[in-house]
Amino acid sequence: MASSILSDCSSCATSRLLPLRRALHPPPPRFRPSPAPAPSLTRPLSASPTPLPLLPRARRMAALSAAAAAASSADPATALADASAKIIDGKLVAKQIRDEVGVEIARMKEATGVVPGLAVILVGSRKDSQTYVRNKKKACEAVGIKSYEVNLPEDCSEYEVIKNIATFNEDPSVHGILVQLPLPRHMNDENILNAVSIEKDVDGFHPLNIGRLAMQGRDPFFVPCTPKGCMELLHRYGVEIKGKRAVVIGRSNIVGMPAALLLQKANATVSIVHSQTKNPEEITRQADIIIAAVGVANLVRGSWIKPGAAIIDVGINPVDDPSSPRGYRLVGDVCYEEASKVAGAITPVPGGVGPMTIAMLLSNTLESAKRIHNFK
């Protein structure tokens, strides 16, 4: 894996880049989590996982750092001997979060008898969507969340989808509802997503949640999973955010925009770079923290990066690779080979943000069940 990443920014990969102005339009499906489930670490954590709400953040971060250090020699990502940046290991953090969520669910079940429930609605038969839904189901089972699934045919009506959402809204054993995107073209995403009860919107995409995220003094019911995962990675690796310059590349409703709002809420000075930005390289080079979520393979080069910056690479882009059995491999929005020599810390692709999205979905579902049942 390491060697293929190292060749990502070579001339052949670069020549496939679209012109920046056109290329920066973010195609949402690329931000979905990697279809492959995150492989477990080859060595157990040296610090045993501890429940999320029981440890204060400082202690959790210290435990994570120790675990990361101990596990680093066994982690394939750290085999990059010439990279100076610290690897922000999403697989490791995601595993820790899943473990913490599992412990909390067991504690809740024992105290109240309640088991958190997540309902997923899948419309149509897209292969990638089916894979995502299967992975979510597996991840739920592993931590003790009960899965509910509805599969509707591609040609069903919007009304039918909304009727199913309404049933889950009323069902007290369901604490989170997720409509798998993309929906068939004849449906209006907005109508459908707005039908999800704000208290069960574990994806955090409802405009009321986004509004509360944007406003000072308000808190959303749920933070969208991928940007929440980005922030969790920064927090758990001890990256200071307050007072730092942050650049978010991409402004999608799913990642870029909520990530910028979260960084802003954490008191960073945030700039958003997008398809209409004239000098993205110059602006990005001022950032102490970069979140790249634009869906363009290797867009962010070494020259875009301030030495020592922390980089969270949300992009998961397939590039041609005849040597791979699948004929392609996955790379990020950041040219890892160049960036890892300049940055202070960086997420690899795969194995960075990808595994965090499902972990945060589990965390949001637990949070919802705890709130609904007033369990602390």
> Angle at Cα 255 formed by Cα 254 and Cα 261, nearest 5°?
105
Is there a catalytic annotation at residue 201?
no
Least distance in angstroms from the C-beta of 136 to its own copies: 24
Tokens 């597996």 correspond to 138
Q: Where are the alpha helices (DSSP H) in 72-194?
A: 90-112, 127-143, 158-170, 189-194
Candidate residues 180, 271, 363, 365; the one interacting with its own copies per rule CB under 8 A: 271
Q: Which is nearer to its own copies, 91 or 265 (CB)?
A: 265
Q: Which is nearer to its own copies, 12 or 215 (CB)?
A: 215
Candidate residues 67, 105, 261, 294; the one interacting with its own copies per rule CB under 8 A: 261
Q: Which is nearer to its own copies, 146 or 274 (CB)?
A: 274
Least distance in angstroms from the C-beta of 224 to its own copies: 11
- Cα–Cα distance for residue pair 147/118, rounded to 1 Å: 5
Site for its own copies contains 215 (CB under 8 A): yes
Least distance in angstroms from the C-beta of 29 to its own copies: 16
Q: What tokens appear for 320 in the block?
A: 């041609």
- Cα–Cα distance for residue pair 349/215, rounded to 1 Å: 32
Q: What tokens appear for 312 in the block?
A: 């969270």
Site for its own copies contains 157 (CB under 8 A): no
Nearest to 294 by CA among 34, 25, 14: 25
3-state secondary structure (DSSP) of residue 52: coil
Least distance in angstroms from the C-beta of 198 to its own copies: 10
Q: Which is nearer to its own copies, 282 or 320 (CB)?
A: 282
Q: What tokens appear for 56 in the block?
A: 């204060």
Candidate residues 136, 251, 329, 370; the one interacting with its own copies per rule CB under 8 A: 251
Nearest to 297 by CA among 3, 7, 1: 7
Distances (CA, A) of 198 to 169, 193, 205: 9, 10, 9
**Of 91, 95, 136, 370, which one is the catalytic site residue?**
136
Looking at residues 224 to 243 of the shown chain, list those that interact with its own copies (rule: CB under 8 A). 242-243
Least distance in angstroms from the C-beta of 61 to its own copies: 21
Candidate residues 212, 228, 236, 370; the one interacting with its own copies per rule CB under 8 A: 212
Site for its own copies contains 96 (CB under 8 A): no
Question: 300 phi and psi, to 5 degrees?
Answer: -85, 110
| DSSP code per residue over 256-323 | HHHHHHHHHHTT-EEEEE-TT-S-HHHHHTT-SEEEE-S--TT-B-GGGS-TT-EEEE---EEEE-TT
Site for its own copies contains 269 (CB under 8 A): yes
Candidate residues 190, 240, 308, 324; the one interacting with its own copies per rule CB under 8 A: 190
Task: Decide: 335 and 301 in contact? Cβ < 8 Å.
Answer: yes
**Of 180, 201, 313, 333, which one is the catalytic site residue?**
180
Least distance in angstroms from the C-beta of 276 to its own copies: 4
Q: Which is nearer to its own copies, 60 or 265 (CB)?
A: 265
Site for its own copies contains 272 (CB under 8 A): yes
Q: What tokens appear for 134 in the block?
A: 């299967």
Candidate residues 173, 267, 303, 324; the one interacting with its own copies per rule CB under 8 A: 267
Q: How far apart are the first and last CA of the chain?
A: 42
Site for its own copies contains 207 (CB under 8 A): yes
Candidate residues 101, 195, 273, 292; the one interacting with its own copies per rule CB under 8 A: 273
Site for its own copies contains 113 (CB under 8 A): no
* Sequence-distant (≥ 6) Cβ neighbours of residue 111 within 8 angstroms: 375
Task: Decide: residue 351, CB within 10 A, 0-12 exposed, 13-18 middle, 19+ buried.
Answer: buried
Site for its own copies contains 264 (CB under 8 A): yes
Is there a catalytic annotation at residue 276?
no
Is there a catalytic annotation at residue 203?
yes
Least distance in angstroms from the C-beta of 296 to its own copies: 17
Which residues are known catalytic residues?
136, 180, 203
Interface positions with its own copies (CB under 8 A): 190, 206-218, 242-243, 245, 251-253, 257, 261, 264, 267-274, 276-278, 283
